[in-house]
């Protein structure tokens, strides 16, 4: 049975300095707003421009949606807490943060694999691309990514929510990070920490290896092709690979790095929840000519409609 007596957790945040917190409030407010608006802009661009109604951009718009969710599950509270002396979160709120963090993280990992599969079919089997990457296939890939994220998160939460929390309640981060919360339980949590490491590490490793194999085959195929579309394919691939590195880099350090460093963990948590959702739309916009042209078209339509009004 649930023997918890802790009703709330105290989030120690990024800094105890009042002056630094005010500075961070302004900085992260700008970054969060830019991340959300940038990803929403990509979603609207893909929806409104018929030239982007293709499997690659359908998957990209879903990645942007997950990034909006990833940036929103904890960052608004972190920003609000910069102005608050008492940085607390309820037990249910803490469990919710843990759940959504792993839902969005697991979903994004699988979606990145789906995007790599899309590029593999487009470059290695171009004549069969539209047949293989049908609307149904794309819907299934997105559905599988969300289902994997939910199952991955539920497998964590099913034992975490019943752990006995009977005293310590200080979490040394700006959100309820699962490994830190488990350490607060009033029992030997060594086995549970191994389960978390195994669960998250295994999913991350499988997705990373699939991505590594996919992009190795794709790059080898592109290298063999001497056509005019090679530079364009490399440009698209470089954006995909950059996003993969930015996403899996923090995960490798957080869950696989054997040494504890709360300063590094906090930095990587910020990078994962704020900067990755901010950088993704910038990378895809700057490296993709079609997206840039579609955004210009959307902006011109908006300006034209305002002038007509």
- Kindly report, residue by residue over 36-47, the tens digit of the pLDDT: 999 999 999 999
Helix, coil or strand: residue 5? coil
Residue 243, pLDDT score? 85
DSSP string, 163-214: S---S--EESSSS--HHHHHTTSSS--HHHHHHHHHHHHHHHHHHHHHHHHH
User: In whole numbers, what is the pLDDT of the chain averaged over residues?
Assistant: 85
How many angstroms separate the first and last alpha carbons of the chain? 63
Q: Which pair of tokens denotes residue 185?
A: 């339980």
Domain edges within the chain = 8-225+266-298
203-245 tens-digit pLDDT: 888 998 999 899 888 888 887 775 555 566 666 778 888 888 8
Looking at residue 202, what is its pLDDT?
A: 87
Percent of the chain at pLDDT exceeding 90: 44
Contact 110, 102 (CB under 8 A): no
- CA gap 212, 128 in Å, rounded: 23
CB-based burial, 20-40: b 16+ in 10 Å, e otherwise: ebeebbeebeebbebbbebbe
- pLDDT tens digits, 90-146: 999 999 999 999 999 999 999 999 999 999 998 888 899 999 999 999 999 999 999
Measured CA to CA, the distance from residue 281 to residue 38 in angstroms comes to 6
- pLDDT for 163 beyond 80: yes
**88: pLDDT strictly greater than 90:** yes
Q: Which two tokens stand for residue 258?
A: 């054997």
Rounded CA separation 221/136 (Å):
27
Residue 293: its H or E element: helix 289-308
Which residue, among 134, 57, 121, 23, has the nearest Cα to 288 in the 3D structure? 57
Query: How would you label 48-76 residue by residue, b for 16+ Cβ within 10 Å and e otherwise?
Result: ebeebebbbbbbbbbbbbbbbbbbbbbbe
pLDDT tens digits along 52-86? 899 999 999 999 999 999 999 999 999 999 998 88
The architecture that CATH gives domain 8-225+266-298 is: Up-down Bundle (1.20)
pLDDT at res. 179: 86
Tell me: pLDDT of 13 over 90: no
Please give the C-alpha separations between residue 1 and each of 4, 162, 164, in angstroms, as whole numbers: 9, 7, 9
What pLDDT is attached to residue 204?
87
pTM of the model: 0.88
Q: Is 288 exposed, middle or buried (0-12, 13-18, 19+ CB in 10 A)?
A: buried
- Cα(114)–Cα(220) distance, integer angstroms: 19
Share of the chain above pLDDT 70, in %: 88
């Amino acid at each position: 049975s649930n023997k918890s007596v802790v009703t709330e957790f105290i989030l120690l945040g990024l800094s105890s300095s009042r002056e630094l917190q005010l500075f961070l409030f302004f900085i992260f407010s700008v970054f969060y707003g830019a991340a959300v608006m940038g990803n929403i802009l990509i979603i609207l661009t893909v929806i409104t421009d018929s030239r982007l109604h293709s499997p690659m951009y359908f998957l990209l718009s879903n990645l942007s949606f997950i990034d909006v969710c990833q940036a929103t599950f904890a960052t608004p509270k972190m920003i609000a807490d910069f102005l608050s002396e008492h940085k607390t979160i309820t037990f249910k709120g803490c469990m919710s943060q843990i759940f959504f963090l792993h839902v969005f993280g697991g979903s994004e990992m699988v979606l990145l694999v789906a995007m790599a599969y899309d590029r593999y079919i487009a470059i290695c089997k171009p004549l069969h691309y539209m047949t293989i990457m049908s609307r149904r296939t794309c819907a299934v890939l997105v559905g599988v990514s969300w289902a994997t994220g939910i199952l991955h998160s539920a497998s964590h939460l099913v034992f975490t929510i019943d752990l006995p929390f009977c005293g310590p309640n200080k979490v040394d981060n700006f959100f309820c990070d699962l490994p830190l919360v488990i350490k607060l339980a009033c029992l030997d949590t060594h086995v549970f920490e191994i389960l978390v490491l195994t669960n998250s590490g295994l999913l991350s490793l499988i997705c990373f290896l699939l991505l590594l194999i996919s992009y190795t085959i794709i790059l080898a195929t592109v290298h063999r092709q001497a056509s005019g579309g090679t530079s364009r394919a490399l440009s698209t691939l470089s954006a995909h690979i950059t996003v993969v590195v930015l996403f899996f880099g923090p995960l490798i350090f957080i869950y696989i790095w054997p040494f504890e460093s709360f300063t590094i963990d906090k930095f990587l948590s910020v990078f994962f929840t704020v900067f990755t959702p901010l950088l993704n739309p910038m990378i895809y916009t700057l490296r993709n000519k079609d997206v840039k042209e579609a955004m210009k078209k959307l902006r011109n339509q908006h300006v034209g409609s305002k002038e007509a009004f």
